[in-house]
């Protein structure tokens, strides 16, 4: 049996849907049954929702009963390292064979993972998993294309993509592509002791991102390079925690000093996944970007 954690989140949810589409039986660990049913997880064929907190040993032991392969996802938050390292220890005790760690790797050429707390934590969790004696695979996507949906309200209202990214490039990847790889890893196993980086098929400036959203929606959208103070206020005003905003500042500093991005499609190629372009992504989500 397979277990997916973080199943109500942005990436976990899409991966569980992909499993259901492929008729792959799996358990989905969720913290709130209300949230799971609001997004329809409880009605997916072959998916058993299991309520529990990854930090609660008894919940995890019950969820891991009969499980041989796990996809490990939790929020980018201050307790991510502790949550996931403890969870890995519980997997070992429960006799799980293979843990696929949903990690992250920036596309910026020369980006130093030690400079951004969440990539640093991901690498520390990867080290812990590698030392656990369990079979492991690290799935390491770059920025998700879906993060631009967070700017959809301003894009549809003002026709502006307002971000503090100057003229740097990023190579965002569609979660749909990651979900296809994760689903095959969960179903078939293999790729043990491998780190599977994934970016999207193009390194794009924000002018290019805005241009693709504009083409998909048929409305003018322009990139406005804003300063950190405006971005910080917008994030805090939108409900982000001060810690999370501080983390994004660390990431921004490193991104600004590493302005060019690599494109890495070896994982797409190895799994036979056609890379989703940003233009395709923007067309799929055109209604969201149009308001
Ligand atoms: N954003 C990006 O561009 C990007 C790129 C590469 C990698 N990543 C990494 O991808 C990972 C997943 O990101 P995401 O955006 O999909 O996350 P997300 O939407 O924040 O979802 C996190 C999921 O983890 C669950 N969770 C957190 N703590 C838990 C706990 N103690 N017990 C049980 N469940 C718990 C959450 O449950 P609730 O719904 O109950 O809160 C939610 O289902 C993160 O580690 C992030 O660093 C992100």
> With 0-12 CB in 10 A as exposed, 13-18 as middle and 19+ as buried, what is 182?
buried
Residue-averaged pLDDT of the chain:
97
291: pLDDT confidence band, cut at 50, 70 and 90? confident
Model pLDDT for residues 100-121, shown as the tens digit of each residue: 999 999 999 999 999 999 999 9
215: pLDDT confidence band, cut at 50, 70 and 90? very high
CA 139 – CA 192 distance, rounded (Å) = 11
Question: 9 phi and psi, to 5 degrees?
Answer: -85, 180
Per-residue pLDDT at 2 exceeds 90: yes
The pLDDT score that the predictor gives to residue 225 is 98
If you write DSSP's letter for every residue of 221-259 in order, what string do you get?
Answer: -EEEE--HHHHHHHHHHTT--HHHHHHHHHHHHHHHHS-
Task: Report CA(29)–ligand 1 centroid distance (Å).
Answer: 12
Model pLDDT for residues 165-202, shown as the tens digit of each residue: 999 999 999 999 999 999 999 999 999 999 999 999 99
Residue 64: both structure tokens together: 């891991």
Task: Report CA(72)–ligand 1 centroid distance (Å).
Answer: 10
- Report, as an integer, the average pLDDT of 199-223: 98
The DSSP call for residue 134 is S
Q: Which atom of ligand 1 is nearest to the CA of 5?
A: 34
146: pLDDT confidence band, cut at 50, 70 and 90? very high
Strands 204-205 and 26-30: unpaired
CA 133 – CA 127 distance, rounded (Å) = 11
Task: Report CA(140)–ligand 1 centroid distance (Å).
Answer: 14
- Report, as an integer, the average pLDDT of 198-217: 98
Per-residue pLDDT at 236 exceeds 90: yes
Give me the domains of the chain, ranges plus CATH numbers: 2-141+175-198+262-275 (3.40.50.720)
Query: Which of the listed residues 75, 124, 243 should we mutate to test ligand 1's pocket, taking the one with most ligand atoms within 8 A of CB?
Result: 75
Model pLDDT for residues 11-29, shown as the tens digit of each residue: 999 999 999 999 999 999 9
Binding-site residues, ligand 1, Cβ < 6 A: 5-12, 29, 31-32, 35, 53-55, 73-76, 83, 102, 104, 118, 141, 143-144, 147
How long is the chain?
291
The DSSP call for residue 189 is -
Model pLDDT for residues 27-50, shown as the tens digit of each residue: 999 999 999 999 999 999 999 999
């Amino acid at each position: 049996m397979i277990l997916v954690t973080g199943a109500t989140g942005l990436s976990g949810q899409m991966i569980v849907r992909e499993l259901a589409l492929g008729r792959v039986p799996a358990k989905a660990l969720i913290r709130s049954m209300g949230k799971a049913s609001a997004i329809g997880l409880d009605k997916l064929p072959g998916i058993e929702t299991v309520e529990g907190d990854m930090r609660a040993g008894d919940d995890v032991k019950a969820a891991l009963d009969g499980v041989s392969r796990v996809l490990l996802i939790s929020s980018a938050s201050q307790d991510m390292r502790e949550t996931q390292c403890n969870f890995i220890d519980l997997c070992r005790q429960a006799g799980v064979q293979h843990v696929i760690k949903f990690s992250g790797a920036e596309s910026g050429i020369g980006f130093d993972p030690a400079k951004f707390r969440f990539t640093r934590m991901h690498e520390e969790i990867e080290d812990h998993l590698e030392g656990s004696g369990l079979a492991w695979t690290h799935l390491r996507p770059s920025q998700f294309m879906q993060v631009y949906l967070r700017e959809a309200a301003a894009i549809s209202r003002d026709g502006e993509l307002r971000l503090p990214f100057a003229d740097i490039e990023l190579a965002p990847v569609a979660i749909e592509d990651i979900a296809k790889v994760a689903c095959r890893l969960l179903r078939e196993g293999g790729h043990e002791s491998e780190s599977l980086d994934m970016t999207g098929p193009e390194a794009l400036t924000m002018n290019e991102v805005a241009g693709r959203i504009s083409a998909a929606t048929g409305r003018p959208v322009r990139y406005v390079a804003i300063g950190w103070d405006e971005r910080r206020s917008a994030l805090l005003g939108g409900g982000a925690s001060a810690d999370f905003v501080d983390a994004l500042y660390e990431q921004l500093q490193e991104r600004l000093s590493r302005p060019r991005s690599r494109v890495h499609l070896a994982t797409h190629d190895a799994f036979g996944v056609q890379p989703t372009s940003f233009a395709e992504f923007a067309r799929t989500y055109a209604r969201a970007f149009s308001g």
